[in-house]
Chains A and B, each alone.
With several copies, the nearest count.
Chain A
Amino acid sequence: MSQGPILELRGINKSFGPVQVLHDVAFSAHAGEVTALVGDNGAGKSTLVKCVGGIHQIDSGEYFFEGRKVQVHGPRDAAELGVEIVYQDLALCDNLDIVQNMFLGRERRSGLVLDEAGMEEMAAKTLEGLSVRTVKSLRQHVSSLSGGQRQTVAIAKAVLWNSKVVILDEPTAALGVAQTAQVLELVRRLADNGLAVVLISHNMNDVFAVSDRIAALYLGRMAAQIKTSEVTHSQVVELITSGRSGELGLGNGNGATS
């Protein structure tokens, strides 16, 4: 590897009661690169991301950030490290409006008072960049938004901040054609600006279009983590559906990284 990974996980295990969801998973993300995390439904992608974000406590395993071993006990810890995540279950507050949601937990103030005008302005600018055209007002409650609009708000919320790692869990699932293109472009732009970006997606075209590396999860195990340029479409699909593809993937032993 040219450069040490900014985020690195080793030997992560995670169970919910009797069900073990992640088995000894290793994962890394490098600055300036887009790492695609792929896997079948229920493979454990979202669970892995939630472990990174501190939503779930890991049962065992090591968490390295910029080479240092860290303990992440909650979302605040992750945010302090500079990890920003768009979760699959968007986690917006339905009773707040778009601006309020976008700045939640990191409100801009002047003195004690919230700087509403400033926040509204910034929110409008960010959303414009994501080509949302049908939102009537930024002061609309998010409960009244369409599926794609909600997703756009969640994405906009994550990219507002100066972070080092951005993780997007199926960000384009509900987006239209134009919006999807915008988001993919944004992903590439973030990576080019030196951030480490992790993109979860079921769409192989998108994955191949923007990613530098691909990590494939199979039934809670890391089947392979490889350079995008070194694999083909069908190899990745095979990794996703059966956990192995020729040389690559889970052998008799456990997951192998390139």
Chain B
Amino acid sequence: MTTETLPEQRASDSRAGVHLRNYFERVRGGELGALPAVFGLVVLCVIFSVLRPAFLSAINFANLFTQGAAVTVIAMGLVFVLLLGEIDLSAGFASGVCAAVLAVLLTLEGWPWYLAVLAAMLTGVLIGLALGSLVAKLGIPSFVVTLAAFLAFQGVVLLLVKNGTNISIQDGTILAIANNNVPPLLGWAGAIVGVAAYAVIQITQARRRTGRGLVADPMSVIGFRVAALAAVAGVAVYVLNLERSSNAAIVSLKGVPIVVPLIVLLLIIWTFVLRRTAYGRHIYAVGGNAEAARRAGINVDRIRISAFVICSFMASVGGIIAASRANSVDPNTGGSNVLLFAVGAAVIGGTSLFGGRGRALDAVLGGAVVAVIENGMGLMGYSAGVKFAVTGSVLLLAASVDALSRKRAATGGRR
């Protein structure tokens, strides 16, 4: 079997049985992909549901998404910087600065929401340009550049919101982002369209490959994947469409929170960029071996700068979500643990701090772990000290599940 030569092998192997067997071999061989993070997530959810049945309620499920949205979005941007082996310590406060710009323009200057959002995003892009240029052109380590920015932005937020007060946001559109829901029917429609599109893309791709005589996933495997996606999406939409208001008479609360399609959209876009475009390929190349990338004619400086731009742009989106959720912006927006949680989310999801390994999905999975921990701990009712200590331990637990499952599966040779 394994001694087959290249040409022989190409068109063979297309039966599902072989494919599945190969899949399990690969899993045993250490190529685990998203499995350990998902497994860790499941363990956490089981623990919390046992300890606090409220964890499993529909309202809590909806809360989970809005609670984790900002960190997840920031983490998604950080993945780009981490893929290069760089770090952006300022992403948290960059989101704060952008949120503050939004709030100032919206509430104090009275701009319409779309212009204010545009300005906030532009701020993010400019921040990224500045950081990226300093790192790429001057060659200052990104840790130092972004540490300086971390301090400076903290000051900028303070100055923007005038020393410690906070600016309320009244604009309905902005408030809707983190607080409103998609109408139930639209939720179903979205899920169905999404799953169908996925199926179509998968099938045409496989067709095209077999047409060229290349190895492709067999239809049965594709069918399995589509079914799995449909099941997950269906259950999620169903639960989120349940009534979750505790007095439904006065206010009805149902539907998929608006942040969910937002995150899914961002996930699709960045996954597409990373996996299907030359630009994404170059990001991985620079992260894996910057010298090899340079020799291949890739403009390494430009890739570096662009990654910081994406990161800060996503931070601005995260800042807007945070502002919407808080109905206001204050000097702490984007502060405290936001940055560490965002980097932690990416790393827990499987992104390497050394560059070259990571996916947009990592941010979502890791963000989910962080959100579940925060959410679950919020139900436990511990005092401040105990809560910190337990949160740390739970995070460690989730990470060990991941590490141990990887270790069990890894073969001797590589780590």
User: Is any CB of A less than 8 Å from a CB of B in the complex?
Assistant: yes
Return the contact of B281 from the options A85, A114, A118, A219 (Cβ within 8 A): A114
User: What 1/0 flags go to A67-78 for Cβ under 8 Å of B?
Assistant: 000000011100
Within 8 Å CB of A106, what residues of B?
A: 296-297
B298 at the interface (CB under 8 A from A): yes
List CB contacts (< 8 Å) of A11-40 with chain B: 15-21
Q: Does A189 contact B (CB under 8 A)?
A: no
A-B contacts, 30 of them at CB < 8 A, read: A15-B29, A18-B22, A18-B26, A20-B2, A50-B413, A53-B295, A55-B294, A57-B411, A75-B296, A91-B296, A93-B356, A94-B288, A94-B289, A95-B289, A95-B356, A100-B284, A100-B285, A104-B282, A105-B285, A105-B297, A113-B276, A114-B276, A120-B212, A120-B214, A121-B213, A121-B214, A124-B6, A135-B6, A136-B2, A219-B3
A16 lies within 8 A of B413 (CB): yes
Q: Is the CB of B281 within 8 A of A95?
A: no
- Least CB separation from A21: chain B residue: B2
The answer on a CB contact under 8 Å between A93 and B5 is: no
Residues of A within 8 A of B215 (CB): 137
Q: A62: which B residues are within 8 A, CB to CB?
A: none
The CA-CA distance from A92 to B292 in the complex, in Å, is 6
Residue pair A96, B285 in contact (C-beta under 8 Å):
yes
A127 near B288 (CB under 8 angstroms)? no
A169 to B172, CA, bound (A): 65
For residue B162, CB closer than 8 A to chain A, the reply is: no
| Complex-state Cα separation, A127 to B9, whole angstroms | 14
**Are B412's CB and A57's CB within 8 A?**
yes
Interface size class of B (residues with CB under 8 A): 35 or more
Interface contact A17-B25, CB-CB below 8 Å: yes
The answer to whether A18 touches B29, judged by C-beta atoms less than 8 angstroms apart, is yes
Nearest-neighbour CB distance to chain B for A42, whole angstroms, equals: 11
Give complex CA distance A127, B5 in Å: 12
When distances are taken between beta carbons in the complex, the residues of chain A under 8 Å from B282 are 104-105
How does the 8 Å CB contact mask read for A54-91 relative to B, with 1 for contact and 0 for none? 01110000000000000000111001000001010001
With A93-B284, A121-B214 known as contacts, the answer to whether A56 contacts B412 (CB < 8 A) is: yes
Which residues from chain A sit less than 8 Å from chain B, CB to CB? 15-21, 50, 53, 55-57, 74-76, 79, 85, 87, 91-96, 100, 104-107, 109, 112-114, 117-118, 120-121, 124, 127-128, 132-138, 219-220
Within the assembled complex, what's the spacing in Å between the Cα atoms of A120 and B297? 21
Question: B271 → chain A, closest Cβ, in Å?
Answer: 13
Known: A18-B29, A133-B6. A95 touches B294 (CB 8 A): no
Our pick among B1, B208, B289 for the contact of A93 (Cβ within 8 Å) is B289
Q: How distant is the Cα of A46 from the Cα of B136 in the complex, in angstroms?
A: 27
Q: Shortest beta-carbon distance, A128 to chain B, in Å?
A: 6
Q: Which residues of A contact B4 (CB under 8 A)?
A: 136
B residues apposed to A, CB below 8 Å: 1-7, 9-10, 22, 25-26, 28-31, 208-209, 212-215, 276-278, 281-282, 284-285, 287-289, 291-299, 356-357, 411-413
For B213, the closest partner residue in chain A by CB is A121
Is the Cβ of B297 less than 8 Å from the Cβ of A96? Answer: no
A17 and B31 CA atoms in complex are apart in Å by 8
Give the residue of B214, B284, B295 whose beta carbon is less than 8 angstroms from that of A55. B295
In the bound complex, residues from chain B placing their C-beta under 8 Å from that of A133 are 5-6
Residue of A nearest to B352 (CB): A95
CB distance from A107 to the nearest CB of B (A): 4
In the complex, which of the residues A95, A120, A124 contacts B287, with contact meaning CB atoms closer than 8 Å? A95
Contact assessment for A87 and B3 in the assembled complex, using a CB-CB cutoff below 8 Å = no
Q: Indicate which residue in B208, B214, B285, B294 contacts A74 across the interface (CB closer than 8 Å).
A: B294
- What residues of chain A lie closer than 8 Å to B212, measured between beta carbons? 117-118, 120-121
Q: Which of A92, A132, A135 has the most CB of B within 10 A?
A: A92
Residues of A close to B6: CB separation below 8 A: 124, 127-128, 132-133, 135, 138
How many Å from the CB of A91 to the closest CB on chain B? 4
Q: Which residues of B sit under 8 angstroms from A220, Cβ to Cβ?
A: 2-3
Q: Could you tell me the distance between the alpha carbons of A137 and B356 in the complex, rounded to whole angstroms?
A: 21
Residues on B with beta carbons closer than 8 Å to the beta carbon of A137: 9, 215
Residue pair A107, B278 in contact (C-beta under 8 Å)? yes
**C-alpha gap A16/B282 in the complex (Å):** 28
How far apart sit A104 and B298, CA to CA, in the bound complex (Å)?
A: 8
Complex interface: chain A residues within 8 A of B281 (CB): 96, 100, 104, 107, 114
Let me know if A117 and B298 touch, CB within 8 A: no
Q: Which of A17, A105, A113, A117 meets B411, CB within 8 Å? A: A17
Known contacts A16-B413, A93-B289, A93-B356; A105/B298 CB under 8 A: yes
**Which residues of B are found within 8 Å of A20, using beta-carbon distances?**
1-2
